[in-house]
Amino acid sequence: MKKIKSVLLSAAALTLVAPLFAVSANAADWPVNGSTPVTYDNSNSIPDPDNPGNPQYSLNIPSSIVFTDTAKSVKADVTLKKATTDVGAYPAFGIDVTVASTNAFKLKMGNDELDYALVYDGKSMNATDNTVGSFAANLTSDTTIQGTANLIGTATKTGTYTDTLTYTFTKKTN
């Protein structure tokens, strides 16, 4: 019985002391050369029929620009909105915005034309300078690039003069 007790006590003592020796052994070898694996697991990133890719953000543009005799200057704002309800869901990349016009920034009705100016940041848009502005990366709130459209010409015929705008959004590469 006595022998058994002594064996158990010795084992317990060894258990307590052993880590001390282990630590000191590691400290003696410092600095240790090691390798840390750097991995990128994208095996689940390709969308499938059950989980199609979603839009990452939302951009509001004017649906149409309608001038009347009493409203010859109308808003033409472009707003970037949060895409999802998740925290930090604004895009992590910047976005450049340009605009193109079907009728070279003129309102048309048949062969008749009417001038108007689409203005962003004080500049009137044209075929060569059509930069609306930019949205920065990682925005924290909805952000608007303000714009206005101003009717310049005078209509000589009654009817509806139209133009169609296409806003282009390009992800910034840097």
Instruction: Output 11 or 71, the one with its CB closest to another protein.
Output: 71
Under the binding rule (CB under 8 A), the answer on residue 164 touching another protein is: yes
What is the rounded distance in angstroms from the CA atom of residue 152 to the CA atom of residue 114? 8
Looking at the Cβ atoms of 29 and 86, the one nearer to another protein is: 86
DSSP-derived 3-state class of residue 101: strand
**CA 149/CA 119 separation, integer angstroms:** 6
Task: Give every CB contact of residue 55 below 8 A, 6+ residues apart in sequence.
Answer: 83
When asked if residue 71 is in the footprint of another protein (CB under 8 A), the reply is no
What character string, x for contact with another protein (CB under 8 A) and - otherwise, covers 74-113?
-----xxxxxxxx--x-x-x-x------x-----------
Q: How far is CA 164 from CA 58, 100, 107, in A?
A: 20, 8, 9
Residue whose CB is less far from another protein, 34 or 55:
55
Tokens representing 25 are 């052994």
119 belongs to the binding site for another protein (CB under 8 A): no
Under the criterion CB under 8 A, does residue 47 sit at the interface with another protein?
yes
CB of 50 to another protein, least distance (A): 9
